[in-house]
Chains A and B, each alone.
Chain A
């Protein structure tokens, strides 16, 4: 399995995308959106930026399936921590035990 060498042009493109993303997230932060939309937009932009770093700077796009599985698993496990903990906090008082 030979090593894939990512071109400088790709790196420059991703770098500029990341800078634009940063400017975007700062600008959008000052606009008032209804409900939780501000948070969702901020997290969406951050996730997109992180994805670009992972795929291109960290070469995951050109890596073996094992690496993909590892990255996905880590995110999934953090998801377990969040989901199950919030399954507690968000449902307190939903079911009454009578005492």
Chain B
């Protein structure tokens, strides 16, 4: 196996996908997956800031125990909308639609995704869903919680449930089309020599994510549709007063919404695999285990939804099954964490910004994942249900995990996407601020929740105030920290140093074309004869100390 560190590139051309064509029409009617990725990047960032403003309002209200900043009904709308925007319009599309869209064809040596026009359509559908949801927010908002539990959402809420439901329904198709595109692309468009087991783990995790997207999203689609019809027609599908069953709604809702969290975290894990292997200059430990664990998470993730129904009339027997399976689903995630750690062991780690985010992910995801195990336990879950423990748990995974990975991936591939380097010093500073701010925000929430502070209340007993003050302080730091990369990324587009084709000196296929890439990605179709993470063998090193010994040459 010849190690690959340098190679001959065709002479870089000034023409790339960004300047190949000019004009608004060339962007809005593009079929180029890279341009579509940028379109998504812009819209996703927009929705992230809206969701962030709602978060800010929540944290401001919770500074004091009294409900003195927002009325209770307003507060209900604020946390509902924070959840809906962040989950459906930021987290679920974030990594797949930006990094996935941009990189998957490049990583497998293809010119584009299988269905470029459907790719563009998925962005327009995303926008349509977003516009309708924003309309609902501006018209008066929705106050049911992002979970839309019935019969409050069908019968008693006076807010814009139907409009929001329609927005989410439409947005679901964007997800489905993206997943469909990825699956067909990975099956049919790999370059000659690019076998399944030579693909980067980023592709494996997106494949697994796409499986969830196509199998789960249709169920939330029909659920939201039935909810909307029930609300409009006043018939009892889910309303017990009319003969319906509210637990049926929860079954149907969580059948998707639990796998949805794996839609959010699997792409992040794919990014982290790339970050850990590449920034420690070492082949990922146990490649096939990591690849198969992605598939295992996708499959097992569909078998555990009942753990969201432990405090409903769901039968105890079913609860036990779901509890057992919820413990089991942690195993493939743990396998990944072990393999990443083993990759880091005796490797050559460089603490560039992407690696900082990757390392941050491992720690924070572990915390989030382990607290998930507490929740898988029936008895503990009954105690902490609807408290801030749950809120802290999922924010550790979604923000500490998915968002960190997203930022890490953005930094890692920024030179490839934009042809510019971001300022490394500011990058590391931003990562640190975000890490500190994040932990200060959510660690106190674990304690508050365990001690009994309920979620979704704008007022709380005064003994919880100290945790909330810490949390809001952390949120301010986190918010400030998010602005740092926002500023320097934009700055770098104009003033950043120009990036060469392979600024990090890595073996991945995406680094073997210029930065930014030409529209067709590669000058000629590559023929792949190497594995995903082939680095040059390291020199023999003498390890001094208690565990000293010689390494056998490879």
Contacts between chains A and B (CB distance < 8 A), count: 46
Query: B316 CB to closest chain A CB, in angstroms?
Result: 4
Query: A96 CB to closest chain B CB, in angstroms?
Result: 8
Chain A 60-99 per-residue mask, 1 if CB under 8 angstroms from chain B, else 0? 0000001000000110010011001101110111111100
Interface size on A, residues (CB 8 A): 18
Query: Within B305-326, which residues are at the interface with A (CB < 8 Å)?
Result: 305-306, 309, 313-318, 320-322
Tell whether, in the assembled complex, residue A80 and residue B302 are in contact, meaning their CB atoms are under 8 Å apart: yes
A-side interface mostly: helix
Bound: A25/B313 CA distance, A: 38
The one of A66, A84, A92, A95 that contacts B306, using a Cβ cutoff of 8 Å:
A84
The one of A73, A81, A93 that contacts B315, using a Cβ cutoff of 8 Å:
A93
Query: B24 CB to closest chain A CB, in angstroms?
Result: 39
Tell whether, in the assembled complex, residue B318 and residue A91 are in contact, meaning their CB atoms are under 8 Å apart: yes
Chain A, residue nearest B318 (CB): A88
The answer to the question of B134 belonging to the interface, with a C-beta cut-off of 8 Å to chain A, is: no
B-side interface mostly: helix
The one of A85, A91, A96 that contacts B251, using a Cβ cutoff of 8 Å:
A85
Chain A, residue nearest B216 (CB): A77
A-chain residues with CB within 8 Å of residue B317 when the two chains form the complex: 87, 91, 94-95
Bound: A89/B319 CA distance, A: 11
Bound: A49/B227 CA distance, A: 32
Tell whether, in the assembled complex, residue B316 and residue A95 are in contact, meaning their CB atoms are under 8 Å apart: yes
The one of B303, B313, B318, B321 that contacts A80, using a Cβ cutoff of 8 Å:
B303
The answer to the question of B128 belonging to the interface, with a C-beta cut-off of 8 Å to chain A, is: no
The one of A81, A89, A97 that contacts B255, using a Cβ cutoff of 8 Å:
A81
Tell whether, in the assembled complex, residue B315 and residue A94 are in contact, meaning their CB atoms are under 8 Å apart: yes
B-chain residues with CB within 8 Å of residue A84 when the two chains form the complex: 303, 305-306, 318, 321-322
Tell whether, in the assembled complex, residue A97 and residue B302 are in contact, meaning their CB atoms are under 8 Å apart: no
Chain B, residue nearest A85 (CB): B251
B-chain residues with CB within 8 Å of residue A96 when the two chains form the complex: 316
Chain B, residue nearest A66 (CB): B187
Bound: A84/B323 CA distance, A: 13
Bound: A88/B219 CA distance, A: 18
Bound: A66/B188 CA distance, A: 11
The answer to the question of B215 belonging to the interface, with a C-beta cut-off of 8 Å to chain A, is: yes
Query: Within B273-326, which residues are at the interface with A (CB < 8 Å)?
Result: 302-303, 305-306, 309, 313-318, 320-322
A-chain residues with CB within 8 Å of residue B320 when the two chains form the complex: 95
Chain A, residue nearest B248 (CB): A85
The one of A73, A74, A89, A97 that contacts B316, using a Cβ cutoff of 8 Å:
A97
Bound: A85/B249 CA distance, A: 11
Tell whether, in the assembled complex, residue B313 and residue A87 are in contact, meaning their CB atoms are under 8 Å apart: no
Chain B 89-114 per-residue mask, 1 if CB under 8 angstroms from chain A, else 0? 00000000000000000000000000
A-chain residues with CB within 8 Å of residue B219 when the two chains form the complex: 81
Tell whether, in the assembled complex, residue A92 and residue B187 are in contact, meaning their CB atoms are under 8 Å apart: no
Chain B, residue nearest A93 (CB): B315
A-chain residues with CB within 8 Å of residue B313 when the two chains form the complex: 92
**Most chain A CB atoms below 10 A, which of B255, B315, B321:** B315
Bound: A28/B317 CA distance, A: 37
Bound: A84/B317 CA distance, A: 11
Bound: A85/B302 CA distance, A: 12
Chain B 316-359 per-residue mask, 1 if CB under 8 angstroms from chain A, else 0? 11101110000000000000000000000000000000000000
Chain A, residue nearest B317 (CB): A91
Tell whether, in the assembled complex, residue A77 and residue B318 are in contact, meaning their CB atoms are under 8 Å apart: no
Query: B299 CB to closest chain A CB, in angstroms?
Result: 9
In the complex, 21 of the A-B residue pairs with CB atoms within 8 angstroms, ordered by the A residue number, are: A74-B215, A81-B219, A81-B255, A84-B318, A84-B321, A85-B248, A87-B318, A88-B247, A88-B251, A88-B306, A88-B309, A88-B318, A89-B315, A91-B315, A91-B318, A92-B315, A94-B315, A95-B316, A95-B317, A95-B320, A97-B316
